[in-house]
Amino acid sequence: MQASAPTDSGTWSHWHIHGEPIRLGISSCLLGEEVRYDGGHARDRFAADVLSEWMEFVSVCPEVEMGMDIPRPTIRLADEGDGVQLIAPSTGEDFTEQMQTYSARRVSELQELDLDGYILKRRSPSCGMERIKIYRKGAALSTNNPGLFAAELMQRWPSLPIEEEGRLNDPGLRVNFIERVFCRNRWRVLAKRGLTRRLLVDFHTAHKLLIRAHNEAAYQKLGQLVGSAGSMDDEQLYAAYEAEFQRALSFKASRKLHVNVLMHAMGYLKDKLGQVEKKEILSSIEDFRLGLLPLIVPLTLLNYNIKLYEIEYLMGQLYFAPHPKELMLRNHA
Ligand code: SF4
């Protein structure tokens, strides 16, 4: 990594260190492992075929790892008045304590592995992150709960980007998740290898437009943090920056904020472009705003001109290439 070179620092590959892989935890069945209650799997093509080219996985099947067989009776969350339990309705067996003990230990182990994100299997009373039913006397008592392992993971590790494979079918949620994962990896590796104030400034500068696309207020706050750094000691400053940076990215980048960022970038070009080029780019931004074109179109037009006219500040902005283009995330967002 050469974080101090501004002219080519605006690509994910410039910041990425090959010996520091992007690492995701994942529900084992999504990788095609035959660990489900019926001996089957739930292979997810995006994770198993696409993300696997760029990321390393830590495969976790809570039910099998805590000692359940394959195949096994189905289990579900139930509350008969004594709190939420994980039970097998066909046998009445109660797995609550076993799962809670296992989850507490396993999440601690995972935290030692420096994960950059986690993909959970939806609709599982163990792995599902939301919309899991709790039953009482055979009827759904409530419908929007996490599975037991997922609850432990999300509660103990709130800064970790976590998504379900089903939600990742939504192009906006998908791009947001992957963006957070790459950003987390960049920060994590920088912190691991030794942060300095100079590197913090470089990191923040390269992420400015990206952060603005997620949350303008957080962008202002991060700018103030970096600007008023003299009043804090190094560790305080890095911790405060990391917390606010992760929080900023947890906001889904909206079409409106993207348009603001694109128009801001356009401002750097306005004196360089002829009427035709200007009109073409503005029209692509407007079409993106209306949902007629994907983000990749105005980005490509802008990028071409940024390089043509060597707009140094914009060439250093990760907003234009925060993750591999082969993932094609902005072709649908
Ligand atoms: S959803 Fe979770 S517990 Fe169920 S098979 Fe998949 S990894 Fe195992």
Owner of token pair 């507490």: 104
pLDDT at 231: 76
**Among 58, 59, 61, which residue has the most ligand 1 atoms within 8 Å of its CB, making it the best to mutate?**
61
* Whether residue 62 has its Cβ less than 6 Å from ligand 1: yes
* Whether residue 72 has its Cβ less than 6 Å from ligand 1: no
Residue spans per domain, the chain: 20-169, 195-333
CA-nearest residue for atom 4, ligand 1, is 36
* Whether residue 121 has its Cβ less than 6 Å from ligand 1: yes
Cβ-proximal residues to 286 (8 Å cutoff; 6+ apart), any chain: none
Element (H, E) at 178: helix 171-193
pLDDT at 2: 42
* Whether residue 124 has its Cβ less than 6 Å from ligand 1: yes
C-alpha of residue 322 to centroid of ligand 1, in Å? 31
DSSP 3-state of 77: strand
User: Exposed, middle or buried, 26 (CB in 10 Å: 0-12/13-18/19+)?
Assistant: buried
* Whether residue 103 has its Cβ less than 6 Å from ligand 1: no
User: Exposed, middle or buried, 287 (CB in 10 Å: 0-12/13-18/19+)?
Assistant: middle
CA-nearest residue for atom 6, ligand 1, is 29
CA-nearest residue for atom 5, ligand 1, is 36
* Closest ligand 1 atom to Cα of 36: 5
Per-residue pLDDT of the chain in tens (333 residues, 90 and over written 9) = 444 444 567 899 999 998 899 999 999 999 999 999 999 999 999 999 999 999 999 999 999 999 999 999 999 999 989 899 999 999 999 999 999 999 999 999 999 998 999 999 999 999 999 999 999 998 999 999 999 999 999 999 999 999 999 999 999 999 999 999 999 999 999 999 999 999 999 999 999 999 999 999 999 999 999 988 677 899 999 999 999 999 999 999 999 999 999 999 999 999 999 999 999 999 999 999 999 999 999 999 999 999 999 999 999 999 999 999 999 999 887
Cα gap 214→233, rounded to integer Å = 28
* Closest ligand 1 atom to Cα of 35: 5
pLDDT at 18: 84
pLDDT at 6: 45
pLDDT at 314: 97
The pTM is what? 0.93
